[in-house]
Amino acid sequence: MSSINNPAITVGEMKLHGVEKIWATCSQCRRPWLVPVEFLPATTNLATIAKLMICPNCGGRSVMASPASVGRD
Ligand SMILES: [Zn+2]
């Protein structure tokens, strides 16, 4: 049950949990934003996505990512 927040979880595994978006949060300005991941390769993992993201607010590259909409409809 807790594996959903593992940084090694892949897009394919998130889809199995019904997750098609992730919450990204900038560690510099703390701005959160939703990132759709459904178009990414199924083997891409959460840690890789976080490394690739750039904050749209401040341009910061230190971004935290966690699966969104778990347990919601
Ligand atoms: Zn930022």
pLDDT per residue over 15-72, tens digit each? 999 999 999 999 999 999 999 998 999 999 999 999 999 999 999 999 999 999 765 5
Structurally, the chain folds into a number of domains equal to 1
- Which of 33-37's residues contact partners 24+ apart within 8 Å by CB, and which partners? 34/68, 35/65, 37/11
- Which tokens belong to 52? 């690739």
Q: What pLDDT is recorded for position 46?
A: 95
State in Å: Cα 41 to ligand 1 middle: 26
Q: Could you list the residue range(s) of the whole structural domain that residue 6 is in? A: 2-67
Q: What pLDDT is recorded for position 1?
A: 47
* CA angle centred on 26, ends 20 and 49, rounded to 5°: 40
State in Å: Cα 70 to ligand 1 middle: 24
73 within domain boundaries: no
Question: How far is residue 30 from each of residues 19, 27, 53, 64, measured CA to CA in Å?
Answer: 22, 5, 14, 10
72 within domain boundaries: no
Instruction: Tell me the whole-structure pTM to 2 decimals.
Output: 0.83
State in Å: Cα 49 to ligand 1 middle: 16
In DSSP terms, which residues pair with 26 in a beta bridge?
A: 63
40 within domain boundaries: yes
